[in-house]
């Protein structure tokens, strides 16, 4: 029997990893909703201009890292995410975006995205943990 292909797509696992079996070594693959989730992670964490062949791909969230968190910024972030998903993730319909700023003093903002998968009409929530990663220096004794 032929292998059934996913209509939601199959792609490389992120971060890139390899699988080895007795016959060969191959790139780890993912499919279905997991592929969509990882595509969203890549989309939201990529700065526009990082990809040479698609310079407009990505979401400019990194540029807003040190901006004051107010209603205007949150609205702007929602619009950036909405446009990025509209243009670069055709497998889903966006139902809503919620920005949770409870961890703002620690430099953490959670972005909850409510989506519907077009191929299956199944709903799922995706949470993107957007936070400032600082370099830390730990002295060994």
Residue 37, domain CATH:
3.10.450.40
Share of the chain above pLDDT 70, in %: 87
Domain membership of residue 40 (yes or no) is yes
- Higher pLDDT pick, 13 / 135: 13
> pTM score, two decimals?
0.77
Token code pair at residue 44: 């939201």
Domain membership of residue 3 (yes or no) is no
Domain membership of residue 136 (yes or no) is no
Domain membership of residue 45 (yes or no) is yes
Non-local (6+) Cβ contacts of 87 within 8 A are: none
Domain membership of residue 118 (yes or no) is yes
pLDDT digits (tens, 9 = 90+) for 43-55: 999 999 999 999 9
Please state the domain count of the chain. 1
Q: Name the residue range of residue 65's domain.
A: 10-131
Could you give the CA distance from residue 77 to residue 63 in angstroms, rounded to a whole number? 11
Angle at CA 89, nearest 5°, toward 69 and 65? 20
* Mean pLDDT, the chain, whole residue set: 82
Contact 120, 91 (CB under 8 A): no
Q: Is the pLDDT of residue 15 over 80?
A: no
Non-local (6+) Cβ contacts of 49 within 8 A are: 55, 58
């Amino acid at each position: 029997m032929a292998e059934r292909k996913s209509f939601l797509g199959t792609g490389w696992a992120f971060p890139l990893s390899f699988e080895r079996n007795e016959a060969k070594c191959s790139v780890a693959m993912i499919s279905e909703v997991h592929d969509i989730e990882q595509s969203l992670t890549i989309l939201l964490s990529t700065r526009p201009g990082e990809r040479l062949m698609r310079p407009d791909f990505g979401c400019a969230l990194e540029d807003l890292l040190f901006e004051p968190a107010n209603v205007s910024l949150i609205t702007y972030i929602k619009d950036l995410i909405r446009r990025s998903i509209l243009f670069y993730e055709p497998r889903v319909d966006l139902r809503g975006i919620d920005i949770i700023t409870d961890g703002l003093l620690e430099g953490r903002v959670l972005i909850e995205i409510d989506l519907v998968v077009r191929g299956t009409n199944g709903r799922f929530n995706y949470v993107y943990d957007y936070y400032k990663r600082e370099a830390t220096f730990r002295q060994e004794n």
